Chain A
Amino acid sequence: MTTVAAGTRSGPTSLRKDERTPPFRRVLVANRGEIALRIVRACHDVGTEAVAVYSDADAGAAHVRAADDAVRIGPAPAAESYLRPQAIIDAALGSGCEAVHPGYGFLAERAEFARLVEDAGLRWVGPSADTIAAVGDKLAARRLATTARVPVVPGMVEPARIRPDALDDLVAVGREIGFPLLVKASAGGGGRGMRRVADPDELVRALSAGAAEAEAAFGDATVYLEREVRPARHVEVQLLGDASGSVVALGERDCSLQRRHQKLIEEAPAPGLDPEQRRELHEMAVRIGRAAGLVNAATAEFLLDPSGRFWFLEVNTRLQVEHGVTELVADVDIVVEQLYIAGGAELSPSLVAAAGMATEPTRHAIEVRLSAEDPSAAFAPAPARVGRWRMPAGPGVRVDTAVEAGDRIPPDYDPLIAKIMTVGPDRAAAIARMKRALDEVEITGIQTTLPFHRFVFRDATFIDAELSTDWVAEHWDGPGERRARRETARRAATALIESQEDAGATRPVSLRKDSTGLTSASTWRATGRRVATERWPR
């Protein structure tokens, strides 16, 4: 009698869709927080071990505990830890890793770091160092898009030469583009290195100042002029490519809800596109990916103007924060795909199939970025120690976070602490789920952007998808929103102190605190229970 092992092709039912062995034995995760945990999970899902790196601020962090091994790389400041290329490479080599996944931010788009990784004999999980270098230069990316017959935001494709004899020409170019326009740094990105110029007389000064800032911030003074497209929606396309030259578009995302070029809410697909627009957008993005020889994952960003035209902005040669909404709509794991592509595999059949259906999506997903920021104080970072921490769950809800109750949110890093995502059959369903999910969030100890998100999901213009990158500035009054809750908070505080003192203590009762920072006092519990049973009888 022969027995057939489960999961082999010759069995009556194949138990695995894409039959693949683990892409690597061990991968180093060169990041922290939610994305590091997310990458560790992808590794484990495909039988790969993960090694974490951590600074002193992250010694007990969730991503460290989830990994199979961990290496300390320095004290808390990023410049002394997560931004040290050699420390990360040493950690990878010393722990037997074959590959490095950089996540997003930190060193993820530093071509020199990718090169160092490759030179050390490790695989880089992302586009090649050459691609990062080529496409990271925004002017080069604009020229590349132009050769791929993709319209770029009107403006210069060569550096602005800030020379005394060239100033008149620059102003003339500026007038051709049309004021107001933007002075942009070629080495910048994600909203950094941009200046708005409304008046032609300001142009020369703005160019000089912009060049000096670019030199200081990016080590490259190259600047150029671009038209300001406004109002506009920010729409981006998820691309994946392999070494055989295949490039696919896995779907687009709308990230218009931003503040100072920091994204707050993202969704997939972009609302309101007709199938032809969507197809054209994906095709343009794929053309750019092919022209760049893209291998692994990247995102092509566009502006959508009110007339419905797309204008290419830039390419991000990394995994993006908001990749999860594309995963929820397309039902793929982009990080797993990244690992396999880095290991030499071609795009998987299920990925190619998902890309084939991306122009007619049958689901809608939304993400809110929950950050330790004060939305009544210009979203200033508000790091502190978390007390209570409860995240939503249930059907259609996905939460990517590495924070737990009692964690100290360090001041040294980005204040993003959780990504709350919902998915449903259409946008209305995803919105309804997000409203429900946001109601389930319970956090004490830190101020977060939760009230902002709760506001958005009750706002008619958001629900009607009247989006633009100006939306937040136009609709959000943080101080007013906070002020409106103050009376309730005051009443609660006074009632609390009153009830505690009326419960028989002649002096303030010594209050016990548990590890989550919550206070419990026997007098309160007794009072609370008694009153609770009176009000909500079983």
Chain B
Amino acid sequence: MPSPRRLRVVDRAADTGQPEASDTDAGGWEITVDERGHGRLEPSASDANPAPAGVKGDHVVLVGRVDEAGAGHTVEIVVDGWRFELSVEEAARAELLARATRNRDSVARSGPLEIRAIIPGRIAVIAVVPGDRVVTGDSLLVLEAMKMQNELRAPRDGTVGRLLVAPGHTVELGDVLLTLE
């Protein structure tokens, strides 16, 4: 029987552009996953934990990558073709971390590096996709400004996390362009 515990779940690609966090009781649901990642999510049959209101029946989802991240995990869940990358961590610990770093944009774990625009301009070329491994100096993207092509390079080794822009986007000074993990 899953014990109800407070977990913080962060949707890293929320439509608002900011990661969206919510604290939840972990109890009330069960999931069974086969080797191919087919998951069936059902309310737990338990009188002590009635199914949360508004979410009925069982759901078929796809479970993709599950990676350890700090003291928690990132989990990829696909529902009806919608892809979610969720960070799951104990809420208490996540709160402590968030307070310590005082960063509203924190993904509640030791941080990915945010690569920001140092001049305003237009994204001309993106050379990487999420998941690519890069080394210091690798070209990440090209920002066009004042008729000049400004190439952004990786400041350290890492893995490309999230792309927040696409070719053709206009960006302001300080906008986060991508994250490096």
Measured CB to CB, the nearest residue on chain A to B63 is A496
Which residues does chain A contribute within 8 Å of B134, judged by CB atoms?
A: none
Query: Is the pair B83, A447 in contact by a Cβ cutoff of 8 Å?
Result: yes
Q: How large is the interface on A (under 10, 10 to 19, 20 to 34, 35 or more residues)?
A: 35 or more
Which residues does chain B contribute within 8 Å of A349, judged by CB atoms?
A: none
Measured CB to CB, the nearest residue on chain B to A519 is B66
Q: Is the interface of B mostly helix, strand, loop or mixed?
A: strand
Which residues does chain B contribute within 8 Å of A479, judged by CB atoms?
A: 15
A-B contact pairs, 24 of them (CB 8 A): A376-B82, A408-B129, A408-B132, A409-B129, A411-B126, A450-B81, A481-B82, A487-B54, A492-B59, A495-B26, A495-B29, A497-B7, A497-B72, A497-B88, A498-B2, A498-B27, A499-B2, A499-B31, A518-B63, A518-B64, A519-B63, A524-B33, A528-B32, A528-B33
B75 within 8 Å of A by Cβ? Answer: yes
Measured CB to CB, the nearest residue on chain A to B165 is A380
Please report the C-alpha to C-alpha distance between residue A479 and residue B125 in the assembled complex, in whole angstroms. 26
B147 within 8 Å of A by Cβ? Answer: no
A154 within 8 Å of B by Cβ? Answer: no
Query: Is the pair A387, B64 in contact by a Cβ cutoff of 8 Å?
Result: yes
A166 within 8 Å of B by Cβ? Answer: no
Query: Is the pair B26, A498 in contact by a Cβ cutoff of 8 Å?
Result: yes
Query: Is the pair B82, A485 in contact by a Cβ cutoff of 8 Å?
Result: yes
- Residue of B5, B38, B55, B68 touching A511 (CB-CB under 8 A): B68
Q: Give 19 A-B pairs besides A412-B127, A496-B63, A502-B3 with Cβ atoms closer than 8 angstroms.
A: A376-B15, A383-B163, A384-B129, A385-B129, A411-B129, A445-B65, A445-B131, A486-B14, A488-B41, A489-B79, A491-B29, A494-B9, A496-B75, A497-B26, A497-B73, A517-B64, A519-B63, A527-B32, A531-B32
Measured CB to CB, the nearest residue on chain A to B59 is A488
Please report the C-alpha to C-alpha distance between residue A524 and residue B37 in the assembled complex, in whole angstroms. 11
Query: Is the pair A492, B41 in contact by a Cβ cutoff of 8 Å?
Result: yes
Query: Is the pair B166, A380 in contact by a Cβ cutoff of 8 Å?
Result: yes
- Residue of B35, B39, B65, B163 touching A517 (CB-CB under 8 A): B65
Which residues does chain A contribute within 8 Å of B83, judged by CB atoms?
A: 444-447
Known: A443-B78, A497-B75. A388 touches B62 (CB 8 A): yes
- Residue of A411, A519, A527, A532 touching B128 (CB-CB under 8 A): A411
Known: A387-B64, A489-B79, A517-B64. A495 touches B31 (CB 8 A): yes
